[in-house]
Amino acid sequence: MNSILQLGMPGGPELLIILFVLGIPTFLWIWALVDIVKSEFTDSTNKTIWVLVIIFLPVIGSLLYLLIGRGQRVST
């Protein structure tokens, strides 16, 4: 018998699912936070609000920031 199947360790397809479910949202979350910290906004409270939204709603907040919030930055 295959010992990997007996132990229930994840194989290729399972690891891809884990990467998709955990890795991509984590990457988006970090990317959005770094982008907020490095950027200047038209209103100083917008930066604080976006950080709070991303901290309390990680996946949805990151997507909203990347789709909507980046337009609120000051163009340099």
Could you give the CA distance from residue 20 to residue 12 in angstroms, rounded to a whole number? 12
Return the structure tokens found at 65: 């920031």
Kindly provide the residue ranges of all beta strands, DSSP E only, lying in the chain, ordered along the sequence: none
Q: Tens digits of per-residue pLDDT, 9-19?
A: 667 788 888 88
Burial group, residue 44, by CB count within 10 angstroms (0-12, 13-18, 19+):
exposed
Q: For the whole model, what pTM was predicted?
A: 0.72
Q: Where are the chain's structural domains? A: 26-76
Which residue ranges in the chain fall short of pLDDT 50?
1
3-class SS shares of the chain: helix, strand, coil, % to 5: 80, 5, 20
